[in-house]
A = this chain, B = another copy of it.
Amino acid sequence: MVIVGRPRGFDEETVTAAAAALFATRAYDGVGVDDLVQHLGVHRNSLYKTFGSKRGLYLAALHWHVSHVLQPLIDQLRSGRDPEQFFDHVTRKGNLDLLLLAAVERAPADTEVAAVVAQALQLLEQAIDDVPMLPSGRTGKIALSELLGERVRVRALSAG
């Protein structure tokens, strides 16, 4: 495979990460392609050439979020050091927002999103379940629900 033609002036992963940040703030339909073009600094044509469609970019951003944000947090939790910091990163900072929005808003309308969300939730649940010395009677499922709900509350109150 020989590279031919003008090289692209943007880094695909950087753009994907920026898209993830944007999709984490507003609902899918609330983020226009114009917004993406403006915040990502990449032209429409390049976006469509690279990701195919707005949905393609969203799916790429969601996958990136799971593997480059959630997975490191999971790894950190599994390392056993500072489980409190995991809680903080997830609830206080917005590291769960894209997954949360995807679960609540997109998943019911997009089976592919639903599948990614389901897998991510499973990963999180399992990781929490494997934490030693979890208070008795508290499964990973319950602890994860508490995490998600806590973030819902914080997010809802953060505006106004």
Residues on A facing B (Cβ under 8 Å): 25-30, 100-105, 107-109, 111, 114-115, 117-118, 121, 141-142, 144-150, 152-153, 155-160
Q: How far is the CB of A90 from chain B (nearest CB, A)?
A: 11
Contact of A150 among B101, B145, B159 (CB under 8 A): B145
Tell me the bound Cα distance from A124 to B149 in angstroms. Answer: 13
Tell me the bound Cα distance from A93 to B20 in angstroms. Answer: 31
Q: Report chain B residues within 8 Å CB of A146.
A: 142, 145-146, 149
Identify the closest chain B residue to A102 (Cβ).
B156
Tell me the bound Cα distance from A145 to B144 in angstroms. Answer: 10
Contact of A104 among B117, B150, B152 (CB under 8 A): B152
Tell me the bound Cα distance from A141 to B149 in angstroms. Answer: 10
Provide 7 A-B residue pairs closer than 8 Å at the C-beta atoms, listed in order of the A residue. Answer: A100-B104, A103-B153, A103-B155, A105-B105, A111-B160, A114-B159, A145-B153
Tell me the bound Cα distance from A146 to B20 in angstroms. Answer: 26
Tell me the bound Cα distance from A47 to B158 in angstroms. Answer: 32
Q: Report chain B residues within 8 Å CB of A25.
A: 108
Q: Are B27 and A155 touching (Cβ within 8 A)?
A: no
Q: Are A26 and B144 touching (Cβ within 8 A)?
A: no
